[in-house]
Amino acid sequence: MVEKDTYTEISEKRTSKLGYLILAALFVFLFVIGQTVFSDIKEIPDRPDSPSFCLYLEDIESMTYKRSCSFNEMDKKYGLDVIYLNIEHDIDRIIGLNRVINNKEQLVDLNEYKISGLLGEYDVSLQEVIADEEPLLDKSEIKSRIGSLESSNDVLSSEIGQMISERDLLIQKIRPDLDRLEVLYDEARDDYKTQIAYYNVKVFVLKLLFVLPFFGVFLFLYLKYKKKDSPYTIIITSIFFASTILFLQVVLVFLYEILPMEWFAEIFRVLMSVSILKYLVYYGSVVVVIVLLGGIVYYIQKKVYDPKRVAYRYLKDNKCPNCGFNLELAEVYCAKCGRQVKTKCLKCKNLKYVDLAYCPFCGKK
């Protein structure tokens, strides 16, 4: 049985650059395929219908366009379609009035802007008269234009008032239906929230049935080949990482969809409202980042500067593992630092390196 070589140098290439590129492409391919499968899985359960947005009429006093409406099963379940169709004609009239009112109000604003400009010109003309200069502008013409614009605004304001009265009467007329529609719409929306929660659970279970075996199998293979230091480890690693990302995506998306966002917002608000907690979050996040990044650096340093790995790299260059001095002058001990570099093999009695596991003469450990 060949034992794992603990002296393998960390800097040795396990595959070529092209190999890494292909493995990266494999990772991307698996991730994209996973998204396609997830998209198909979402179509397996019947997704519940949300109440149609066209039935949301709380802003009817300002609506200037009609929302297209194709009633779904949820609308029909709560009778929203019947109520809406009963008042649709009045809604159309209200929307039409709002559109005309908005146009006329824009004309009033435009006239007010023009009047403001003409008043400025009129003041300039008066100053020229006071200064006994020849006026460049005709005061009477300016006054006439101002009067015409003010008269136009009076007419527009009167028309706007009449239309607002007509609109308010129509809204008052259909108010009972609007109130009933609002109540039923809220009930339908609550029903939808319940149904969509069940739908998300079904989708989550189906996604898990797909990704969990995939994740479990390649986790097992990754640990198995990693333990054996198999050359296939790097291939399994790419697939395992892809399955891990897909698994985490399934879990995190489910938590995001199933847990009310108000919870997270409230937790964050409470943390930010209490000074001590706020600073604990700030400093805690800093500590977490330092520990995480520091741990990664420590792990790399530990791997790179492991005594056995360092010894292996020095011995490959025929140097003392302790001081780096050339070993050509050494028999058993380093001529510079005195460190023992060779010892007798217990099997064949020839000299072998202390830091290497196997004897170069008999091949025994």
The amino acid occupying position 183 is V
* Residue position matching structure tokens 């917002």: 265
Are residue 241 and residue 329 in the same domain, yes or no? no
Which of residues 259, 292, 318 is at a domain's end? 259
Average pLDDT, integer, range 62-91 = 87
Does the residue 150 lie in any domain? yes
Does the residue 20 lie in any domain? yes
Contact 49, 81 (CB under 8 A): no
**Cα–Cα nearest to 185, from 72, 67, 78:** 78
Does the residue 270 lie in any domain? no
Residue 304: strand, helix, or coil:
helix
Which of residues 228, 259, 290 is at a domain's end? 259
Are residue 255 and residue 314 in the same domain, yes or no? no
| Residue 78 main-chain phi, psi, to 5 deg | -100, 5
Cα–Cα dist 322/17, whole Å = 33
Does the residue 279 lie in any domain? no
Total of domains in the chain: 2
Are residue 120 and residue 223 in the same domain, yes or no? yes
| pLDDT score recorded for residue 173 | 93
Are residue 251 and residue 316 in the same domain, yes or no? no
Does the residue 300 lie in any domain? no
- Give the dihedral sign, CA 114/115/119/125: positive
Contact 103, 160 (CB under 8 A): no
Looking at the chain, the whole-number percentage of residues with pLDDT higher than 90 is 23
313, burial (CB in 10 Å: exposed 0-12, middle 13-18, buried 19+): middle
| pLDDT score recorded for residue 183 | 92
51 secondary structure, DSSP code: P
Are residue 189 and residue 331 in the same domain, yes or no? no
Joined tokens for residue 220: 């097992």
Are residue 201 and residue 330 in the same domain, yes or no? no
Range of the structural domain that residue 39 is part of: 15-259
Which of residues 227, 259, 291 is at a domain's end? 259
Are residue 213 and residue 331 in the same domain, yes or no? no
**Cα–Cα nearest to 236, from 27, 8, 6, 4:** 27
Which has the minimum average pLDDT: 132-141, 187-196, 206-215? 132-141
| pLDDT score recorded for residue 314 | 80
Does the residue 283 lie in any domain? no
Which helix (H) or strand (E) covers residue 352, if one does? strand 351-353
Are residue 136 and residue 217 in the same domain, yes or no? yes
Are residue 332 and residue 185 in the same domain, yes or no? no
pLDDT tens digits along 223-268: 888 777 677 777 888 888 899 999 999 988 888 877 766 666 666 6
| pLDDT score recorded for residue 14 | 53
pLDDT tens digits along 318-354: 888 888 888 776 678 888 888 888 888 888 888 888 8
How many angstroms from the chain centroid is the CA of residue 124?
A: 59
pLDDT tens digits along 54-71: 877 777 888 888 877 888
Mean pLDDT estimate for the chain: 81
pLDDT tens digits along 281-304: 677 778 887 887 777 666 656 665
Does the residue 302 lie in any domain? no
Cα–Cα dist 333/323, whole Å = 12
Are residue 247 and residue 321 in the same domain, yes or no? no
Cα–Cα dist 64/100, whole Å = 9
Contact 320, 341 (CB under 8 A): yes
Are residue 328 and residue 208 in the same domain, yes or no? no
Give, rounded to a whole angstrom, the gap between the first and last alpha carbons of the chain.
12
Does the residue 298 lie in any domain? no
Are residue 344 and residue 252 in the same domain, yes or no? no
Which has the minimum average pLDDT: 177-191, 306-320, 335-349? 306-320
319 beta partners: 326
